[in-house]
């Protein structure tokens, strides 16, 4: 299907955020379409995390709008935005370190959970079956009873993915989900992500590593100093010498 023919799930329109005199989101307009993996790239301090925080309701915009399936979500508390189907992971993962892997995933499905979805009040047995399926898909079955704190780095990353899978959210915002993964874990991550996207999930990823950007992106949104400089095919964005200078200037 053509990019333009896909449903716009999330529409960011003229979005602005100031911290005092500092404008960190500068009139950003960006559509995220169903079944597309959009990668947010840009130098440090470009405003990528701020954009995630604005979408999820952890920050309130200074101006502009964010529409989820046609309806504004600006001003809603973050838990209500999550319930509507927008879930996120964090760079620092934010797992329950002293709970088991299984419990970490189960808590997402508790009715009181901030990621609880309408219709998710399923019986404990069904929930446990669902957790088992998710752990199998993320390669964590043998670690179900291990505490999160005792997992290896890659396993912790997969646990954070398992938690977002359990939320049944339609849109995933992932903060550097593949950074630091070894080659085989990275390949497994990519396969899992693609299967989820095939299954109807829409994804936005913050990523610094260019190899990962190339590997995962259907679309790249390039931010610099709060301004969206490009939102296009990966090929076109990556071949733009002006953007390359900004990107690599930052890495130097
Ligand atoms: N709560 C805050 N108060 C004041 N300034 C902030 C706050 N949060 C972020 N900033 C500033 O906003 C700008 C954008 O930060 P942000 O974390 O969104 O960038 P980023 O693109 O995610 O960077 P990185 O790639 O380093 O994580 C930075 O200049 C940062 O210092």
pLDDT tens digits, residue range 135-163?
999 999 999 999 999 999 999 999 999 99
Atom of ligand 1 nearest to the CA of 91: 27
Token representation of residue 163: 């938690």
- According to the model, what pLDDT value does residue 117 have? 54
pTM of the model: 0.90
Cβ–ligand 1 distance for 17 under 6 Å, the answer no
Token representation of residue 34: 């169903």
Cβ–ligand 1 distance for 24 under 6 Å, the answer yes
- According to the model, what pLDDT value does residue 114 have? 47
Q: Which of 199, 204, 209, 201 is nearest to 219 (CA)?
A: 204
Which residue spans within the chain are E strands per DSSP?
A: 8-19, 22-33, 37-41, 63-68, 71-72, 86-88, 171-175, 202-206, 219-224, 227-232
**Smallest CA separation from ligand 1 atom 7, residue:** 19
ipTM exceeding 0.90, yes/no: yes
Question: For the structural domain made of 1-85+170-252, what CATH number should be given?
Answer: 3.40.50.300
- According to the model, what pLDDT value does residue 119 have? 53
Beta bridge partners of 12: 30, 66
Decide the pairing of beta strands 219-224 and 227-232. Answer: antiparallel
- Residues of the chain predicted below pLDDT 50: 113-116, 252
Cβ–ligand 1 distance for 215 under 6 Å, the answer no
Domain boundaries, the chain: 1-85+170-252, 96-168
């Amino acid at each position: 299907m053509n990019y333009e023919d896909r449903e716009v799930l999330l529409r960011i329109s003229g979005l602005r955020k100031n911290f005092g005199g500092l404008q960190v989101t500068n009139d950003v307009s960006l559509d995220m379409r169903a079944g597309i993996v959009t990668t947010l790239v840009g130098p440090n301090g470009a405003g990528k995390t701020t954009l995630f925080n604005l979408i999820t309701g952890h920050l309130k915009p200074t101006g502009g709008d964010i529409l989820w399936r046609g309806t504004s979500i600006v001003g809603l508390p973050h838990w209500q935005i999550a319930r509507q189907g927008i879930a996120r992971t964090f760079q620092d993962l934010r797992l329950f370190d002293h709970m088991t892997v299984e419990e970490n995933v189960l808590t997402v499905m508790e009715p009181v959970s901030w990621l609880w979805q309408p219709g998710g009040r399923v019986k404990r047995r069904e929930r446990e079956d669902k957790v088992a399926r998710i752990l199998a898909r993320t390669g964590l079955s043998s670690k179900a009873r291990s505490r999160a704190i005792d997992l290896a780095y890659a396993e912790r990353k997969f646990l954070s993915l398992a938690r977002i899978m359990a939320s049944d959210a339609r849109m995933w915002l992932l903060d550097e989900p593949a950074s630091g993964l070894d080659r085989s874990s990275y390949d497994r991550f990519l396969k899992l992500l693609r299967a989820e996207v095939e299954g109807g999930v829409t994804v936005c990823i913050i990523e610094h590593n260019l190899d990962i950007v190339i590997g995962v992106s259907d679309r790249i949104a390039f931010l610099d100093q709060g301004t969206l400089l490009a939102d296009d095919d990966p090929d076109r964005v990556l071949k733009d010498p002006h953007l390359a200078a900004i990107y690599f200037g930052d890495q130097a």
